[in-house]
Amino acid sequence: MSIPSFGVGTFRLKGQTVIDSVRNALDLGYRAIDTAQIYDNEAAVGQAIAESGIPRDELFITTKIWVSNYAHDRLIPSLRESLAKLRTEQVDLTLIHWPAPGNGVALPEYMGALAEARALGLTRQIGVSNFNIALTRQAIAEVGREAIATNQIELSPYLQCSQLTAFLKSQGITVTSYMTLAYGKVLQDPLLAEIAHKHQATVAQVALAWALQLGHAVIPSSTRRENLASNLLAQQLQLDAEDMARIATLERNGREVDPEELAPVWD
The answer to whether 31 touches 43, Cβ cutoff 8 Å, is no
DSSP 3-state of 253: coil
- Ligand-binding annotation for 97, yes or no, is yes
30 included as an active-site residue: no
Active-site residue, from 30, 39, 70, 158: 39
- Tell me, which fold does domain 8-248 have in CATH? TIM Barrel (3.20.20)
Whole-number Å distance between alpha carbons of 56 and 70: 27
Within the chain, which residues score under 50 in pLDDT?
none
On the 0-12 / 13-18 / 19+ scale of CB atoms within 10 A, 67 is buried
The proportion of the chain whose per-residue pLDDT surpasses 70, expressed as a percent, equals: 100
Query: What was the pLDDT predicted at 1?
Result: 59
Find out whether 66 and 97 touch, Cβ atoms under 8 Å.
yes
- The tens digit of pLDDT for each residue in 112-168 reads 999 999 999 999 999 999 999 999 999 999 999 999 999 999 999 999 999 999 999
Q: Which of 11, 63, 1, 41 has its CA nearest to residue 223?
A: 11
Output the pLDDT for position 77: 98
Q: What average pLDDT is seen over the chain?
A: 98
**pTM summary value:** 0.97
